[in-house]
Structure 1
Amino acid sequence: MARPALSREEVLDTAAALVRAHGPDGLTMRGLAAALGTAVTSIYWHVGNRESLLDALAERTVTDLGAIRPHGEDPAERIASVAHALRRALRERPHLVAMVHERGLTERMFLPAHRALVREAHAAGLRGERAAELVRAVAFQVVGYVLVERNRERAPVQSPADQELWDAETADADPPLARALAAPVEADRLFAASVRALVTGLLAGATAPAAGDIGDKPDTGDGSVGRGPYSQ
């Protein structure tokens, strides 16, 4: 049976899967052709050479992260939802995100999430420097947390381990604390707690704007915010 006609999207999907599994260095045109069951010349026809292919993968990663949309009943919930969605997106595609960074597209990749955070900061009543502080603090929290997670996952076995470190004096003074610190880190729970505390602190004292203000403008889906300073 003849193979169905190859499409550009199929090439990019397969290439992205190879990068996720083996990193950019594991993506070769011959390996990609083998995975697709086609000739290398066919891949060149659809996406050009390897550098063009990597550029296309980087651009698609930028687009994928632009699909993040907030959800929740109030600005605090929606800000937290952006943080959780951004963390998932970064963890799902670390090699692709690294490619984006190497091509100088990091700020553009994060821009849609930043704009979503701006809308929610405005909806909560924050303006100017306080709104900017919220956007950057949440973004730094997410990126920093993901980097720590990845470093912990790739770290060699530690000796002494946490269980050995948190006994003796700490166990005598506060046994539940010693047991908790000796237990494995619950990364999802810890991230949720840290984001909740961060957002609560940043929104403290904020006053929601009156109906019709910029914060109440509907999400147009293109990153624009009415006629405010973040419009394009």
Structure 2
Amino acid sequence: MTRMSLTREEVLAAAGSLVRQHGPAALTMRKLAAELGTAVTSIYWHVGNRESLLDALVERTVEELGEIRPRGRTPADRIVSVARALRRELRARPHLIAMVHERGLTERMFLPAQQALVHEVHAAGLRGARAAQAVRAVQFQVVGYVLVERNRERAPVQRPDEEELWDTGAAPAEHDPALARSLAGPVDQDRLFTDSVRALVTGLLTGSTGRP
């Protein structure tokens, strides 16, 4: 049964869901119309052709990345919250983020998160080049971490894997069995990310750059 009413936002939401699950190649006007229970002509009326639909999805993704809001009592807490939210959003829509990148809008997409970080590093007392360095360090930490996560997820099965390697008493962990057990166990990605960002932020805000 064909739907009698449909909004542009409903079309974009359904199209975005298809792309998130299966990638842009899976998005056809017929498949989208079937998903929405409407005629293909109705899709065209709301969003134009497929290229126009993809452009609209890119714009929608850019807008959604602009909705990140800092949370926490201190500038450091709020910076970490921005980093966590940005990682979550990037992880949730890899195909859409790739489309944004392909259209040359990556910097525009990251601008709201950068602006939020600028506000917090200013609140922490950083200014000028040092503030800019802090903002970029946090942004690159997030993006780099997400890329490593994706690469690990797509990597072929490792034989021997990390658990097997460290279970056999790999040096130099032979005198630190607790370390070996931890490296042989599963990785808590959320905790590792939060700990690494917090350590980075602490160093940035206290001026501890690690350089001699």
Normalised by the length of structure 1, the TM-score is 0.86
* Off by >6 Å, runs of 4+ in structure 1: none
Give the structure with the larger helix fraction: 2
Query: Does the alignment pair 1:101 with 2:101?
Result: yes
Number of residue pairs matched by the alignment: 206
Q: Give 5+ residue unaligned stretches, structure 2.
A: none
CA drift at 1:71: 1.1
Deviations 1:183-219 (A, max 9, x none): 111100100110010000000149xxxxxxxxxxxxx
Q: How far apart, in 1, do the equivalents of 2:193 and 2:2 lie? A: 49
Tell me the equivalent position of 1:201.
Answer: 203
Query: Does the alignment pair 1:180 with 2:182?
Result: yes
Normalised by the length of structure 2, the TM-score is 0.94
User: What aligned pairs does 1:1-232 form with structure 2 within 5 A after superposition?
Assistant: 3-166=3-166, 167-170=168-171, 171-205=173-207
Contact 2:124 2:205 in 1 (8 A): yes
Q: How far apart, in 2, do the equivalents of 1:59 and 1:2 lie? A: 28
CA drift at 1:172: 2.8
Amino acid at match of 1:168: G
CA drift at 1:173: 1.5
Q: Give 5+ residue unaligned stretches, structure 1.
A: 207-232
Deviations 1:28-71 (A, max 9, x none): 11111111111111100000000000000000000001000101
Tell me: CA distance 1:5–1:75, structure 2 relative to 1, closer, same or farther (3 Å): same
